[in-house]
Chain A
Amino acid sequence: MKKHFVRILAAVLMGCMLSACGSGGKAASAPAESATPSSQASAAEEKAEGAVSEISLFNNKVEIDDALKQYAQTYEQLTGVKVNVTSYGGGGAIDSFGMLKTMSQSGDLPEIFVIAGPTHYEQFKEYICDLSDQEWTQYTEQAYLGENGEVVGFPVAIEGYGLAYNARILKEAGVDPNGIKTFSDIKSAFETIDAIKDELGLNCVVSMAASPELNWVTGEQNFNVYLSGGLARDDDSMINALLSGQVDEQRLRHYADYVELLFQYANSKTMTVATYDAQVSEFALAKAAFVHQGNWIDPTLKESGIDFEMGYVPQAFLPTATNGIFISAPTWYVVNSQSPGAEEAKKFLNSMAMTEEGHDYMVNIASMVPAFTNVKLTPAGRLSADVMRWNNEGEAYSWNQYHLPDGFALNTLAPIFEQFAAGSIDKEGFIAGVTKAINSLK
């Protein structure tokens, strides 16, 4: 009897182990379904045959996570379709696009996910739906176009970045933000503020970060000044030259002067180890007059109750006047063509752009600048409002950093910036390093 008992026990244990290896979801839901046949039947009655009632969305803008989830709830109440939002981002160790890659390889790609440019489009081409027949496409010029000119990407928002300034501090220092147009203007502005920074209670003039975690601030956004600062929106000459390994030496030299200025007047103690929160809070707590970030910090500032007057000045790195800031759709939502929930996903995106609740979410709750001309609300966030103003009045320079080859901005260029910020290489070394990196792309 004992012998049999042991063998039966062993068989049962192995059976459990093998069934655990199989899809655990099915095993768990089977008993649940049989226990509640009535709710199952009524649910089936409510939805059409074969309709999907739950879709998932992958978001990489962590600052709108709460807003997005709130809108998903509103949408569920209105239509009965549940939208599961996962937010994944922030920089450094958190690699959103690496995560998407992993998800696609395990067959787990969500119904809606994000792409930020041509390299991601190339990677995920086989999973991306054609959205040209959607209603919202007529109200925006920022949609992402696929290789045959079809609309594939829903612009998440319009974002702008540049040097955001604290109006009160600038006024106290006697600097006029509208007078900053050329490199010498910005240099003298920094010097003026730096001379009286103790009186103003500042740690540094500009809250700039050059740390491994914020490698996107230097390698992608700041480097974009070299790629498209001062150039017309469809002028791709600099990025095309870079991709074929050529450097515009004159322009790079001006750019290096500008980077040197930024690093010189930043907080040398924390610049090379800064985190996103540290950089933004230095500006928010009025310890810095400027911050090198975009209008996406609006929700973060709102959460902390910060509400002083602020705006953008151009990143004036040339001896000639620069009249705009960098504005574009940073990422686009794309729909997973290989998932059964694709139609529901398209409806969700459409509702964001076409319904009042969607407009309310985009502008008021998430504090984003909408990319659609049919939205009549203006954003409450001060930086977002300023981005809209620059978009209408000034020049909007394009975002070309996402045309850079994979890993180039974050892992090849960023260390050169970090060394320059730490002082282990000087400006000539910086120029030489960047030139060498670009030349190797031939």
Chain B
Amino acid sequence: MKTRKDTLLFIAFLLPALASLVVVIIIPFLMGIYYSLTDWNGVSKTVNFVGLQNYLAIFQRDPSFIHAFLITLAYAFLNVLAVNLVAIGLALLVTNRLKLTNVYRAAFFAPNLIGGLVLGYIWQFIYNNVISFYDFMPQMLAKPGTALAATVITSTWQYAGYIMMIYVAAIQSVPESLLEAAEMDGATYSKRFRYIFFPMIAQSFTICMFLSLTSSFKQFDVNISLTNGGPAASFMGESIRFTELMALNIYYTAFSYNKMGEGQAKAIIFFFLLLVVSVTQVYFSKKREVEA
């Protein structure tokens, strides 16, 4: 029976978190929608309402955003693949009965603790000066394709440890007895992996896919410090920055071109893209879970 005291207690506990959510996320989001319909330049006090003009301008006059859109999709695909493969591999390695597995786990997780900006600068130094020390090694950040690969490598290095931890937890929750029973019945390693192991960690697979997908879409600090948009390339007749992901493109539109209204419009589009991608991914993963 809920008493009035209990209700007050519930509200009291919920209030701080709810207040933070509203102030930091809901209100700026609504303000963003409002500003995306204006031509505000970020500093001036005059704000004119222009309706959907910003949204149209983005698709008509801005090849850099369309390119950023496409390259972010490509980057997200590559990054999710790379991070998950590396993370699963590391997790399997680390749950064996070796000595020092705890040390390995901490070591693999450590790169995640380094801030993205510092990481980007360190790796930039590595790519520019260390790897290309010998003449036959390429300047990775100078060519569009290899610059994208370099960004994927750096962010995989940063993020794989974090995802590995989640997989480790999942792997440890798989009952040994099931696997042993299957082994005794004659199942090979690959069959054990596919029919027992994999379905049992499918739930963590959903989580990890979701995390790595959203984090690759939102990638900003490694992007700006490693390549700052990277080598220039031609796209739709204009010179654009090849590895400029969407977050960076929005940042430059808003703060360098001082087109806050257009930047907000791009941000809203970004939000919807991320929403669609995440919901789709979770839906399909959940479906698989139920079946398995």
What residues of chain A have their CB less than 8 Å away from a CB belonging to chain B?
7, 10, 14, 17-18, 92-93, 95, 98, 101-102, 104-105, 119, 122-124, 126, 212-213, 215, 269-270, 272-273, 275, 278, 406-407, 410-412, 414-419, 422, 424-425, 433, 436-437
User: Which listed residue, A17, A123, A278, touches B44 by the CB 8 Å rule?
Assistant: A123
With A101-B255, A212-B228 known to touch, is A14 a contact of B239 (CB < 8 Å)? no
User: Which listed residue, A92, A124, A275, A422, touches B232 by the CB 8 Å rule?
Assistant: A422
Known interface pairs A101-B42, A123-B41, A411-B257; 10 further A-B residue pairs with C-beta atoms within 8 A, sorted by A's residue number: A92-B224, A105-B42, A124-B43, A273-B139, A406-B256, A406-B258, A407-B252, A407-B256, A415-B240, A419-B239
Bound Cα distance from A17 to B117, whole angstroms: 30
A216 shortest CB reach to chain B, Å: 12
B253 / chain A contacts, CB cutoff of 8 Å: 407
Bound Cα distance from A418 to B42, whole angstroms: 29
Bound Cα distance from A424 to B255, whole angstroms: 29
With A14-B12, A18-B16 known to touch, is A415 a contact of B239 (CB < 8 Å)? yes
User: Does chain A have a CB within 8 A of B132?
Assistant: yes
Bound Cα distance from A210 to B42, whole angstroms: 29
B110 shortest CB reach to chain A, Å: 23
Pair B139/A269 contact, Cβ less than 8 Å: yes
Residue of B nearest to A122 (CB): B44
B255 / chain A contacts, CB cutoff of 8 Å: 95, 98, 101-102
B42 / chain A contacts, CB cutoff of 8 Å: 101, 105, 123
Bound Cα distance from A414 to B229, whole angstroms: 12
Bound Cα distance from A411 to B241, whole angstroms: 9
Contact mask for chain B residues 247-272; partner A; CB cutoff 8 A; 1 contact, 0 none? 00000110111110000000000000
A177 shortest CB reach to chain B, Å: 32
Pair A424/B228 contact, Cβ less than 8 Å: no
Pair B234/A424 contact, Cβ less than 8 Å: yes
B252 / chain A contacts, CB cutoff of 8 Å: 407, 411
A123 / chain B contacts, CB cutoff of 8 Å: 41-44, 258
Pair B41/A424 contact, Cβ less than 8 Å: no
Pair A14/B16 contact, Cβ less than 8 Å: yes
With A14-B16, A425-B234, A433-B239 known to touch, is A273 a contact of B142 (CB < 8 Å)? yes
B205 shortest CB reach to chain A, Å: 34
Bound Cα distance from A206 to B257, whole angstroms: 31
Pair B16/A418 contact, Cβ less than 8 Å: no
22 residue pairs A–B, Cβ–Cβ below 8 Å: A7-B9, A92-B228, A95-B255, A101-B43, A101-B255, A102-B255, A123-B41, A123-B258, A212-B228, A212-B231, A212-B241, A273-B128, A407-B256, A415-B232, A418-B231, A418-B239, A419-B231, A422-B142, A424-B233, A433-B239, A436-B238, A437-B239
User: Which listed residue, A102, A105, A213, A407, touches B228 by the CB 8 Å rule?
Assistant: A213
With A406-B257, A407-B258, A419-B239 known to touch, is A212 a contact of B44 (CB < 8 Å)? no
B287 shortest CB reach to chain A, Å: 40
Bound Cα distance from A213 to B131, whole angstroms: 19
Pair A419/B256 contact, Cβ less than 8 Å: no
User: Which listed residue, B132, B224, B227, B233, touches A269 by the CB 8 Å rule?
Assistant: B132
Q: How many residues of B contact A (CB 8 A)?
A: 42
B143 / chain A contacts, CB cutoff of 8 Å: 422
User: Does chain A have a CB within 8 A of B141?
Assistant: yes
B44 / chain A contacts, CB cutoff of 8 Å: 122-123
Bound Cα distance from A29 to B126, whole angstroms: 45
Q: Which B residues from 219 to 249 make CB contacts under 8 A with A?
A: 224-225, 227-234, 237-241
B259 shortest CB reach to chain A, Å: 8
User: Which listed residue, A93, A278, A406, A411, touches B224 by the CB 8 Å rule?
Assistant: A93
User: Does chain A have a CB within 8 A of B45?
Assistant: yes
A126 / chain B contacts, CB cutoff of 8 Å: 45
A406 / chain B contacts, CB cutoff of 8 Å: 256-259
A438 shortest CB reach to chain B, Å: 13
Pair A416/B142 contact, Cβ less than 8 Å: no
Pair A436/B237 contact, Cβ less than 8 Å: yes
With A119-B258, A416-B239 known to touch, is A104 a contact of B43 (CB < 8 Å)? yes
B65 shortest CB reach to chain A, Å: 12
A442 shortest CB reach to chain B, Å: 13
Pair B142/A95 contact, Cβ less than 8 Å: no
Contact mask for chain B residues 133-161; partner A; CB cutoff 8 A; 1 contact, 0 none? 00000010111000000000000000000
Residue of B nearest to A440 (CB): B61
User: Does chain A have a CB within 8 A of B13?
Assistant: yes
Residue of A nearest to B135 (CB): A269
Pair B257/A419 contact, Cβ less than 8 Å: no
B86 shortest CB reach to chain A, Å: 26
Q: Which B residues from 22 to 40 make CB contacts under 8 A with A?
A: none
Pair B43/A212 contact, Cβ less than 8 Å: no
With A10-B12, A93-B117 known to touch, is A419 a contact of B43 (CB < 8 Å)? no
